[in-house]
Chains A and B, each alone.
Chain A
Amino acid sequence: MGKIHIDVEHLTRVEGHGNIVLNANSGKVENVQWQVPEAPRFFESFVRGRPWNELAHITSRICGICSIGHTLTSLKATEAAMGIETSEQTQLLRRLAIHGENTQSHILHVGYLIAPDLFRVGSVLPLIGTHPDAVLKVVKLHRLANEFSDLLCGRTTHPVSMAPGGFTWIPSEKDLRNMKMRWAEAVEVTNDVAEIVLANAGGLPSFSRETEYISLTSDDEYALYDGMIGSTDTGKHPVEGYLKITNEFVVPQSTAKYCKHARDSYMVGALARFNLNSRHLSPLAKHWAGKFHLKPINYNPFMNSVAQLVEFVHSVEDSIAIIDKLLAKGIDRRERPKVKPKAGRGVGAVDVPRGILFHDYTYDEKGICRKANCIIPTNQNHNNIQKDFEAFAPTLLDKPGKEIELNLEMLVRAYDPCISCSTHYLKVKLVH
Chain B
Amino acid sequence: MKPKVAIFDFASCEGCELQIVNLEEAIIDVAKLVDIVEFREAMKESSDDYDIAIVEGSIARPIDEERLKKIRAKAKILIALGACAHLGGVQRLGNRFSPDENKKEVYHMARPEDISDGNPYFKEPRHRALDEVVKVDYTIPGCPINRVEFAKVLVALLTGKKPPIPDYPVCVECKKKENTCLYTVGGVCMGPVARGGCDAICPTYGGECEACRGYVSHPHEKAQMDVLAKYGLTAEEIMNRKTMFTSRYTEKKGGE
Interface, chain A (partner B; CB < 8 A): 10, 12-17, 37-50, 54, 57-58, 61-65, 67, 108, 112-113, 116, 122-125, 128, 136, 139, 142-143, 146, 154-158, 160-161, 163, 167-169, 248-250, 255, 257, 336, 420-421, 423-424, 426-427
Contact = CB atoms under 8 A, between A and B. Distances in A.
B11 A41 contact: yes
Nearest to B12: A420
Given A44-B105, A160-B201, A426 B114 contact: yes
B40 A12 contact: yes
Interface string B77-105: 00000000000011101101100011101
Contacts of A116: 44
B97 to A, nearest CB: 6
A16 B207 CA distance: 29
Contact of A157 (B19, B57, B127): B19
Given A157-B15, A257-B109, A427-B119, A128 B28 contact: yes
B41 interface: yes
Given A46-B91, A46-B97, A255-B110, A58 B44 contact: no
A125 B31 contact: yes
Given A64-B12, A67-B13, A155-B205, 20 more contacts: A12-B41, A12-B42, A12-B45, A15-B14, A39-B121, A40-B122, A42-B106, A46-B90, A50-B93, A64-B15, A64-B18, A112-B21, A122-B45, A139-B25, A154-B205, A167-B206, A250-B111, A423-B106, A426-B121, A427-B122
B250 interface: no
Nearest to A142: B24
Top 10 A-B residue pairs of the complex, sorted by shortest distance between their CB atoms? A64-B15, A168-B206, A154-B205, A122-B44, A123-B43, A45-B105, A46-B94, A41-B91, A64-B13, A39-B11
B205 A39 contact: no
Contact of A125 (B16, B36, B90, B101): B36
B247 to A, nearest CB: 10
B46 interface: yes
B42 A123 contact: yes
Contacts of B205: 154-155, 160-161, 168-169
Nearest to B146: A155
Contacts of A58: 90, 93, 244
A424 B106 contact: yes
B133 to A, nearest CB: 13
Contacts of A10: 40
A331 to B, nearest CB: 16
Q: Secondary structure at chain A's binding surface: helix, strand, loop or mixed?
A: loop
A42 B18 contact: no
A143 B40 CA distance: 21
Contact of B121 (A37, A112, A136): A37
Contacts, number: 194
Nearest to A38: B11
Interface of B: 9-19, 21-22, 24-25, 28, 31, 36, 39-46, 57, 60-61, 64, 89-91, 93-94, 96-97, 101-103, 105-107, 109-111, 114-115, 119-122, 125, 127, 143-144, 201-202, 204-207, 210, 244
Contacts of B17: 64
Nearest to B104: A45
B12 A44 contact: no
Nearest to A409: B44
Given A64-B144, A122-B44, A426-B114, A44 B106 contact: yes
A62 B125 contact: no
B201 A124 contact: no
Given A65-B18, A248-B109, A163 B144 contact: no
Nearest to B208: A53
Contacts of B110: 250, 255, 257, 426
Question: Which of A61, A62, A163, A420: most chain B Cβ within 10 A?
Answer: A61
A42 B122 contact: no
A38 B205 CA distance: 33
A154 B144 contact: no
A46 B96 contact: yes
A421 B12 CA distance: 9
